[in-house]
Structure 1
Amino acid sequence: MRMLIQFAIRATKTANIDAFWIDYECIRPEEDEDPDKSIGEVYRICDIVRACHSMAIVVGPRFNFTNYTHDATEDGLDDLSNTKTQWLRDWGSRLWTVPEALLCPGEHRISIYTPGTAEPELVAKRNLPGRVWDDAIALRQLIDHYESSIHLTKLELISIALECLKRRQTEKRMAGDVAYALQGLLRQRPRVLQSDSDFQAFARLSLANDSDMLLERLLCLKLKDNRAPSHEMQDVWGAKLWDITPICQVSEVVENNTVILGDAKGAMINWEFLEAIYYESTRPQRFGWGLLRACSYFSMVFIISVVVMSGFWSQRSGRRFDTFFSNFWKAALGVFVANAIIVPWVVRYLYRSSEVHQAQARLYGVAGRPDLGRVEELMFGSDQGRLQWMEGGDSVTDHPDGEEYSYESALRSFTLIDTCTLSAIQFEAELPPSVVLAGARARGLVRMLLCSYDAKTATLCKEAVVRMETVVLDRMLKLNRVRFALKQTRDDVIADSR
């Protein structure tokens, strides 16, 4: 610590100013009556960086130097250069260095002090990312934004900054450290609470600022890990946050990683049985139905004629009458046989149309990957290839029919059958979802949140995200305010088990 203060005094004299401030360690007294308030002040140290004259970075080995001299060493300069680069990268790996580098003044160059050098290295703020960080392109965009050379929208600023912050290391003093580091870049800063989870801290920060519904967009991302942190932004389908237009809206943050969703649309999933579906075909069938009616009428007339004419024939006799009646019966019998042959083909023609104009909108859930031909027989009476697998509905690739596949042991494979669009979507979830919520529009499709229901807390818990056609929205019902929760992250599960 003494060596660090020596560097600070030297940098202060070089800058020709009167005071310095070191973000080396912030200690909260244990006897503090309001720990949340004190911790909040620690997380707002970014204001000091905003108001400072210039910034100096002191890098070196950790606690290895007891004596320090300003004299430069002539031997081993190459090794010192390599070591200095590594020290800078170690400095940049910390979570809190990102806000410091973004908010420090740009009119003065950043001074980099290292042990064994007589003079500090002066680096322009815009050149710092290439020296320190692997994700220099993203951080350069943020620096250019704060130097007003480019303009990022609020959504772009928050999403890029969040992507950079979550790559950094932290001792995680608080569960919401990433959100609290992000709030230093924003105008509205909610109170820091030790009881907040990562999701709650980020949700309150998003609601407090005009963040273009950032939280709603994050809820609709399809993540590789169902228990990833709430600020994870790596979408399986490759969508960016600005590609997503939320449909529902978060109105309130409550306990246990739960929020209140308003203006949402939803539908129930039937897991009990598959039932026959009423539908209208698109193929014009007037001729077919007319032919079927004519054949039916002729069959009825033929049977009645057989009964009536058989008695009349037995009472009359004569060669001319016998010849006429014999020819009549031959012709009628021929027409009847033709009728018996035609009717099955007409019926098959009427019921084999694969195009459906309108069908009952129902959602059915099936465990595993079913045979769609068999499912279609149960719903429509025949297998005509009406039901199709939704292309890109989920990240699941082809698996044998009936096989329950999972990426992880905790996940099981399910299939969602939508009769409105005649599509089947396979997905993975820990529990079978019972409710579908319309989350957002993205790239011409609707992202649906599949949720299980916790009866004890009356909460919908997110299980999976799938994509469906937009016409489904017209068949869904408007919902009142609903409680919506995320799965616990793996870190939370580990913490609860301790």
Structure 2
Amino acid sequence: MNQVSTTTDRKQPQCYSSQLKPSYHGTTLRYTSSSSGKCKRLTVQSVNPSLTSDWKECDVRSNAPRSTRLAGRLTRMMFNPSSETFLWLFVWLFYIVALLFPSREPAFAAYYKPYLMRFVGQLWAARSPREYSLRARAAGEDDGHVRRVTHALYPRFLIVFDEDKKVWTKVNVEAAVKRKPYVAVTYCYEDVINSGSMETLIERVRNATLDQGFDAYWLDHECLFKDTVQKAQDLYRMSDVYRLASFTLIMLTNESAWPAWGSRVWTLPEALLSRELRYKAGNNTVTPISLIQIASLAYSHHDEESQIINSYGLGKDPLERLERNLQLKEAMWRRENFQGRYRAEKVYALMGFFEHRILPDAEETELQALARLFMANDNDRIADRMISMFPRDRRGINQWYTKEDEYGAKLWDIEPAAQVIGITSNGSLVLDGCRAATIRWKNFPSVSFATRRSIRRLLALAVPYVAFFFFVTGCAMISVGNQNASTSANTYGPSPGTSPQVAGGGVMLAFSLILLIFAPVCTSYGHSGRVVLARPWLIGVRGVISAQKASDYLYGSQIGDSRRTLYTPSGSPLARPREGDSMFREGDVSQYEVALAAPPFDPIEGHMFTLVDTISGTIYYFRAHKPPTVCLFTGSEGGQGRFVLASEECSGSELRRETVLRMPSFISTSMHTCDWVALGGKP
């Protein structure tokens, strides 16, 4: 039975290529080949390979020229004798063969390996009305004839007192000839239910309204539709209800009910958007109150919300719009939500502060609604900036929304380089205009590079081939001398001594062997020196390797102190800048020691990885739960680029953010612009 089930599962495609061709494979970690665009099983080189990983692991491997690698090993054995020195002769023979039959020179390219996959699914919600949207389709909005709700709206219904009949009636305001002044009412549902009933609240509201000289009020319990579609229209215009009211009346059962009222989701927009505030506690009279007074009575996070309150209440300490909207969002998320309502009700309460609003949807999540709200208000490009943030709380690494940045940057510090054009059903943001590059994990590639050449290095590289010439010439001279000696002996008898040709050939042969013995040192020296240009590559390793080791894997061993790979001063959370008497901006070697001493796996932050960039010659240490196979350039901040490293989930053609690095912005020009990519969402 299990065998039949497995066979059936294998017939189902696990993913689709960018050409919509199905692919059948297992559940192991995958990546998109940068040469064929096909989905392949990921192989990761590791300092300590493990058989229990979710991906295939192998030893760290170098593809530097074989002669260079062997020369470095021979040189190290000559100057640092060890237990393997007795293998020197065998290694030397392989080195000679490698010189005679060199490997093919790697080709040079100006760009990193491209990311060939694209998001092939349907958008759940789209920025452009011309794009197909699953949400709009389900709501019947894709025909272009849906009535759009605009700003400056009155509430659809009011409770109005009929002076002649002495009764309160529900009136359709939109049908009224004259707009009536009214009182908007706010209250805490739990406070009302625990201390009385809704009927008691309504009676108190009506008496207070008449006492204040008004004959109309708005109370959600009486004026909101129960139907989901109609209720969405009411929530859309909720902020206008309080903006247009003559004043907002806060109803409390007693003075101790302020904290309960202040903890509600809607109390912040109801208070901040009102023209005037008054409150009634128990049987006390209606009393005017200011935002500053309310803050000290009702809000438990007064220290964090004081800037918002000062901005709205006194008009002092004005906040930039981007900062204000983010603070409002965080203040809203600290409040309680009613049970049984919209899952994204906090977003609908927040949208009253934005210029453009969204129609509520009972099926969407908070992050989906928040993405729609941010896309509708693109002036600040909040979502575009947010994707470059590195969550301080690693448990939210897969979510695109980030409260605090690990590098301490504010949202307005980031200049976005990509645009959010939609959101998927999983909650991933779909990006357009990203520059992307793939990360190589199976080994270190053969890198085409150029060093700072000198006459001495050119001569050192020529030494082995000069030795070969002398060796061949010496052998030829000995052979010719012996042949001449044999002919002379047959004609004139044996010669009394060695011929000059044989003697000269022997000297030349001995000289060539001496040169060949020291040829590894010459080869290592000839390939040494500062790397001035290298083909763009991003190479990953599971575990921690030093900058010197990375250089050896990339270019082969060298002689001298030329630094080919440097530590980053600020590119990752583990980066450490060199301080003290250093005159230059560079990373300190202590970060390697810290990374090496850190546990190889952390339950929250994941495994330890190393990333090497050949253009900037920089090495980065970071933690992630999966090896990231794609590097996305999403923005810049503080003189550095923000690069999101993501793993691939081919079943949904989406990317999962693993970490964010600060790398030099200029390397983004060596990345190809890719098609749509979906980033974030549920793991």
Q: TM-score, length-normalised on structure 1?
A: 0.76
Which residue pairs with 1:93 in the alignment? 263
The corresponding residue for 1:80 is: none
Structure 1, residues 314-348: CA drift from partner, whole Å, max 9, x if none?
89xxxxxx9x99xx999999998996798665444
Residue in structure 2 matched with residue 390 of structure 1 by the alignment:
568
1:151-300 to 2 correspondences below 5 Å? 151-171=318-338, 173-223=341-391, 224-227=393-396, 230-281=400-451, 283-290=452-459, 293=462, 297=466, 300=469
Amino acid at match of 1:416: L
Q: How many residues align?
A: 448
Residue 376 of structure 1 is matched in structure 2 by: 551
* Residue range with higher mean Cα deviation, 160-169 or 145-154: 145-154
How many angstroms apart in 2 are the aligned matches of 1:13 and 1:25? 18
* Amino acid corresponding to residue 350 of structure 1 in structure 2: G
CA contact (8 A) 2:550 2:612 kept: no
Q: State the distance in 2 between where 1:292 and 1:377 align.
A: 18
Once the two structures are superposed, residues 281-316 of structure 1 have per-residue CA deviations (whole angstroms, 9 ceiling, x without a partner) of: 2x342233146547864884587378649949989x
After superposition, where does 1:60-459 map in structure 2 within 5 Å? 60=253, 84=255, 87-105=257-275, 108=276, 110-115=277-282, 118-136=284-302, 139-146=305-312, 148-149=315-316, 151-171=318-338, 173-223=341-391, 224-227=393-396, 230-281=400-451, 283-290=452-459, 293=462, 297=466, 300=469, 304=473, 308=477, 311=481, 346-353=522-529, 355-370=530-545, 372-382=547-557, 386-396=564-574, 398-400=594-596, 404-408=600-604, 411-459=606-654
* Structure 2 stretches lacking a partner, 5+ long: 1-197, 489-497, 575-590
Deviation track 1:187-209 (CA, whole Å, cap 9, x = no partner) reads: 22121111212222111111112
Q: Distance in 2 between matches of 1:297 and 1:416?
A: 40
Contact 2:542 2:609 (8 Å CA) reproduced: yes
Compare 454-463 and 139-148 and name the one that shifted more: 139-148
Contact 1:367–1:413 (CA<8 Å) still a contact in 2?
yes
Q: In structure 1, how many angstroms separate the alpha carbons of the residues matched to 2:440 and 2:512?
A: 46
8 Å Cα contact 1:226/1:487 also seen in 2 = no
Asked whether the 8 Å contact 1:266–1:476 carries over to 2, the reply is yes
Structure 2: distance between partners of 1:97 and 1:11: 20
The CA deviation at 1:158 is 1.8
Q: Which amino acid aligns with 1:220?
A: S
Structure 2 counterpart of 1:114, which letter? A
Who is 2:655 aligned against? 460
- 1:148, 1:258 → 2: CA distance? 38
Whole-angstrom distance in 1 between the partners of 2:644 and 2:471 = 60
Distance in structure 2 (CA, Å) of the matches to 1:387 and 1:298: 33
Deviation at 1:48, TM superposition (A): 1.0
* SS of match in other structure, 2:232: helix
How many angstroms apart in 1 are the aligned matches of 2:417 and 2:305? 31
CA distance in 2, matches of 1:448, 1:170: 36
Instruction: Give 3-state SS (helix, strand or coil) of 1:20's partner.
Output: strand
Identity of counterpart residues, as a percentage?
25
CA–CA distance in 2 between the matches of 1:226 and 1:450? Answer: 16
Q: Distance in 1 between matches of 2:677 and 2:225?
A: 39
Structure 1 match to 2:245 = 52
Unaligned runs of 5+ in 1: 62-83, 316-321, 489-498
How far off its partner does 1:438 sit? 1.1
RMSD of aligned residue pairs (Cα, Å): 3.8
